[in-house]
Amino acid sequence: MSPKAGGDAGKVNSAIYKDKSKPADIRLSNINAAKAVSDAIRTSLGPRGMDKMIQAANGEVTITNDGATILKQMSVLHPAAKMLVELSRAQDIEAGDGTTSVVVIAGALLDAAEKLLQKGIHPTVISDGFQKALQMALQVVEGLSTSVDLSNEDALLKAAATSLNSKVVSQHSTILAPIAVQAIRAVMEPIQGGVGARVDLRDVKVIERIGGTVEDTELIQGLVIPHRASNVNGPHRIEKAKVGLIQFCISPPKTDMDHNVIVSDYAAMDRVLKEERQYILNIVKQIKKAGCNLLLVQKSILRDALSDLAIHFLDKIKTMVIKDIEREDIEFVCKTLGCRPIASLDHFTAENLVNVDLVEEVNEPSGKYIKMTGCSGGGHTVSVLVRGTSGAVVAEAARSLHDALCAVRCVARRPALVPGGGAPEAAAAAELGRAAIAAPGADHYCLRAYADALEVIPSTLAENAGLNPIETVTELRAAHASGTQSGAGVNVRRGRVTDMRHENVLQPLHVTASALALATETVRAILKIDDIVNTLN
């Protein structure tokens, strides 16, 4: 496994070797590959963006509008292109929304860098210039922002609706946006003495179910378990349930591989059978004594979590039992119900049970599921049941909801909103243009190039909406140059430039700021590469 330098022509098979040794070539190849990625997803930006259909190697079809998902699915080959895929994923983790914009901005910046390189400006100078421009742009964007009060539901709704508007489910944004806002508000914990609130998205469980339409999506203040109860003739609906979550099995213990129970007498056979019954009965009686009428059983691999006999007994004591609670879900279940998992029978006592107002098994053509509502002792968690006509629609609705949740979370984390529709980018471009004139040397070119690159967002928005990009961008430039309309952006609905604040198109500051910062950093990293070395295996 010796690394082989690309420039070392003597050691490689000369027939297939292509001269990429020159740093300029490598840089150009990288820039082109990255730009191709950004070009590929440009058409899905904005409220009039289109979807991509991706058929994976195993034949599974994904239809999506989400930049991060598209890039993750479409397995690109070029290492520099992979960096943009990573970039999109980073934005997904950091902000959750704006995954398309971040790649589009990076593509535009690379395009600008290419032109600067052709002018003969050194890559490190460009890189530093971009860094300066980023600082300025961030200041401008922050200056545009208006802080919001987290108790103001209206402002949060706008952020969620803006995020949803570019998705296939945009027509349902009146249903999904309130769900996203309510969900986040239910799970957020204000930071004491600080600004904003802490939101853990793991506290919002999104469950996908085919059937019905997206309009049937609902928010459940409680728990949804997407499979049926194990009972044979047990109850299907329990009011005022007492719930216990157990991590042990109600089935006869298995002997080890090399141990055997040896029976040599017919009386012993009866005993063996009776012992088994007694063993299970013992557990069930303890459950009954504790007053539990809903039992959740963690999934078990080594043993049956529930034997048939156990189900029979539990039916008799009218206890609903749900098995196969996934190990990773235990934490969420505990938090929702406010209970602790019970690991051994000795701890199965009344004080370890929790009250739930209503548990019901909902029967639908596509299958049954369990819904628990009114968890009095529970923590701050919610479940969202996403519905849709086909697997692809449900999956995309869930992804869109995730983006909306992230958008609201960003506001909670940093309670400030900026106008959308390309307004922050246009404002930053205007400011950078002014700064460029004053800047000396190469910075002048870099700032100007950066400013032009930022205009890719309004330009793409206009292009996707079928407007004339040149006309729109110049109109927008004029609005921002006048200095009075800082909220001016591309109004896709009306097809012209208007103040986005009046249109209620608002997005979280954190999304825009993080997109700019991440895109710039990635571009700087790509610019600094001057060689690709293949390690052969």
Structure letter (DSSP) for residue 355: E
The nearest distance, CB 362 to another protein, in angstroms, is 11
* Binding to another protein, residues 273-302 (CB under 8 A): 273-274, 276-278, 281, 285
Residue 276 or 324 having the CB closest to another protein: 276
- The β-bridge relationship of strands 496-499 and 534-535 is unpaired
Given 111, 403, 443, 452, the catalytic residue: 403
* Residue 10, Cβ density class (10 Å: 0-12 exposed, 13-18 middle, ≥19 buried): exposed
**Applying CB under 8 A, does 398 fall inside the site for another protein?**
no
**Applying CB under 8 A, does 262 fall inside the site for another protein?**
yes
Structure letter (DSSP) for residue 319: -
* Residue 256, Cβ density class (10 Å: 0-12 exposed, 13-18 middle, ≥19 buried): exposed
The nearest distance, CB 69 to another protein, in angstroms, is 12
Report d(CA 414, CA 322) in Å as an integer. 40
Q: Which amino acid is present at 132?
A: K
Instruction: Dump the DSSP string for 203-218.
Output: GEEEEEEEBS-GGG-E
* Binding to another protein, residues 98-117 (CB under 8 A): 107-108, 111
Give the 3-state secondary structure of residue 390.
coil
Give the 3-state secondary structure of residue 373.
strand
Of 48, 35, 64, the C-alpha closest to 461 is 48
Report d(CA 520, CA 203) in Å as an integer. 32
**Applying CB under 8 A, does 311 fall inside the site for another protein?**
yes
Of 239, 201, 238, the C-alpha closest to 380 is 201
The nearest distance, CB 437 to another protein, in angstroms, is 23
Residue 48 or 414 having the CB closest to another protein: 48
Given 62, 64, 69, 100, the catalytic residue: 100
List the end-to-end C-alpha distance of the chain, in Å, as a whole number: 6
Report d(CA 435, CA 247) in Å as an integer. 64
Q: Which of 88, 99, 336, 459 binds another protein (CB under 8 A)?
A: 459
Report d(CA 422, CA 455) in Å as an integer. 8
Given 99, 319, 498, 520, the catalytic residue: 99
The nearest distance, CB 221 to another protein, in angstroms, is 21
Query: Applying CB under 8 A, which part among 93-101, 219-227, 256-264, 429-437 lies near another protein?
Result: 256-264
The nearest distance, CB 289 to another protein, in angstroms, is 12
Query: Applying CB under 8 A, which part among 123-131, 186-194, 268-276, 523-531 lies near another protein?
Result: 268-276
Active site residue 66: yes
* Binding to another protein, residues 59-88 (CB under 8 A): 61, 63, 65, 73-79, 81
* Residue 529, Cβ density class (10 Å: 0-12 exposed, 13-18 middle, ≥19 buried): middle
* Binding flags for another protein, 3-42, as an x/- string (CB under 8 A): -------------x-x-x--------x--xx-xxxxxx--
The nearest distance, CB 493 to another protein, in angstroms, is 10
Active site residue 346: no
* Binding to another protein, residues 39-58 (CB under 8 A): 39-40, 43-44, 47-48, 50-58
* Binding to another protein, residues 417-446 (CB under 8 A): none
The nearest distance, CB 162 to another protein, in angstroms, is 16
CB 442 within 8 A of CB 117: no
* Binding to another protein, residues 344-383 (CB under 8 A): 365-366
| Residues designated as active site | 66, 99-100, 403
